[in-house]
Amino acid sequence: MGSGTGILSEMFLKNENMVFGIEPNEDMRKMAEANLLMYPNFRSINGSAESTTLAKDSVDFITAAQSFHWFDAPLAKVEFRRILRNGGWVILIWNTRKTSTPFLHAYDQMVREASKEKRRVRHEDLDDTALSNFLGDHRVVKLPNFQELGYEGLVGRFLSSSYAPLPGEPRYEQKLAKLTKIFNRYQANGAVRFEYETEVYSGQLF
């Protein structure tokens, strides 16, 4: 749900799972379709968490990576119950980015600027009550995580974010120029390192 440019989808596709990528944003959906063209088990769907277009009792797992905070939770819960098979699970995932290095601090400052310019809904604004109301009794796992990216990977990561300007928007070239400057300053051996705490919440909507 909110499959974006297909980053999480590809992990399941590599495991040979059937994946339905539900994404309402046309630009992101087209990027996912191009990125995942080589995977026959990928189905790209113009839909939303509240209206997936999927058949009743049709899926075993619903995943939402960095996207649940955009949902209309009551409507999404009704839709999730409709499409989940008996015993199915909902998995909500966030990578909470740290700011513990000069690169991460500079990147965070750029993100904050972009967030002010383009309305951003933050997963940090969710609390345990909101998650419990949606998932019911649920499991929580938090793990340290990191990601090393070259320049193209860094650009792709930034542009996959909801607050990033799209090609053709006035700020697009400006933000890419700033991102390039940050990369050139802090890269080591052609890569920069993101550090996260990965938060995984899983439940069955009882």
Which residue has better confidence, 200 or 69? 200
Is the pLDDT at 141 greater than 90? The verdict is yes
- Range in 8-17, 111-120, 185-194 with the lowest mean pLDDT: 111-120
Q: 52, 75 in Cβ contact below 8 A?
A: no
Q: What pLDDT is recorded for position 121?
A: 47
According to the model, what pLDDT value does residue 117 have?
A: 55
Q: How confident is the model at residue 126 (pLDDT cuts 50, 70, 90)?
A: low
Q: What are phi and psi of 181, to 5 degrees?
A: -60, -45
Quote the CA–CA distance of 162 and 97 in Å, as a whole number. Answer: 15
Give per-residue pLDDT as tens, 27-67.
Answer: 889 999 999 999 999 999 999 999 999 999 999 999 999 89
Identify the structural domains of the chain with CATH numbers, from first to last. Answer: 48-203 (3.40.50.150)
Q: pTM for this structure?
A: 0.78
The mean pLDDT of 88-105, rounded to a whole number, is 94
Phi, psi of 86 (to 5 degrees): -60, 130
User: Could you tell me which of 4, 2, 65, 1 has the C-alpha nearest to residue 29?
Assistant: 4
186, 129 Cβ separation under 8 angstroms? no
Question: For residue range 152-188, what is the model confidence (pLDDT) as tens digits?
Answer: 999 988 887 777 777 788 788 888 999 999 999 999 9
* Average pLDDT value for residue range 59-81: 94
Whole-number pLDDT of residue 42: 98
Model confidence at 124: pLDDT above 60: no
Can you give the pLDDT at residue 148?
96
Strands 19-22 and 42-45: parallel
113: exposed, middle or buried (C-beta count within 10 Å: 0-12, 13-18, 19+)? Answer: middle
Query: How many angstroms separate the CA atoms of 3 and 14, rounded?
Result: 16
Question: What is the b/e burial string over 143-180, where b = at least 16 CB atoms within 10 angstroms of the residue's CB?
Answer: eeeeeebeeeebbebbbbebbbbeeeeeeeeebbebbe
